[in-house]
Every structure is written in C-alpha cells, then in structure tokens.
Amino acid sequence: MKILFDHGTPAPLRRDLHGHTVDTAAEKGWDSLLNGELLDRAEQEGYEVLITTDQSMRHQQNLAGRRLAIIVLLRTAWPYVRLRIEDIRAAVAEAQPGELREVSI
C-alpha cells in the first residue's frame, strides 16, 4: 500500500509499517499545501492512505468520492504513538477509500 504522512505524523512510525511504501509530505515538497490540495495531489500520485495528526480534517474535508483513506492519530508524541503501533497497522489494513478513521492514543 502507498502511504503518505502529513507533516505532523511522527516519522519513526514509518519503520513499523512493513510492506508499505511510505513517503512524507515534506519529502514530496507538499508540506505547504492546504488539506484539500494535499488530498488532491496524493490521489494524483496514487497514494491510498494519508496518515495525519490533523484532528480537524474530519470537519474540513468532504471525503465522499475520494480514492484514499485518511487515518487521524489523536496524539503526536512518538512515545505514545509507538504504544499503539498494532492499532495503527490495523487501521491501515482496514482502510477503505473515502473513509476517515481515528486512532486513539
């Protein structure tokens, strides 16, 4: 699966998503894009999942018809995020296009 990390997603999480291709918005030069533009660009590039810490994404974006899923991590600090790796992996595995899932951390 092709996964994109938004700018607030802890980079060490990348190591724990084995079997997936993971890029960051910063690596792609997309870190200054607004959420809607970021989603459009990610879809154009074939990303299937966006992992973000932006909790307002649910209220800002209409996900109907989107080809990618969004996973929102409800906390950003790596020491806490790493304790929920299995939950994040499960959310990625179950992600469906146009869906937003939140992972409590």
Query: 35 with 54: CB under 8 angstroms?
Result: yes
Q: What is the pLDDT of residue 61?
A: 73
Q: pTM score, two decimals?
A: 0.94
- What pLDDT was estimated at residue 63? 79
Is residue 65 predicted with pLDDT exceeding 90? no
> Looking at this protein, which amino acid is placed at residue 73?
L
DSSP for 33-89, please give it: S-HHHHHHHHHHTT--EEEE--TTHHHH---TT-SSEEEEES---HHHHGGGHHHHH
Distance CA 97, CA 14 (A): 21
Q: Check residue 97 and give its pLDDT.
A: 95
Single-letter residue type at 2: K
Q: pLDDT tens for residues 68-102?
A: 999 999 999 999 999 999 999 999 999 999 999 99
64 vs 85, residue with greater confidence: 85
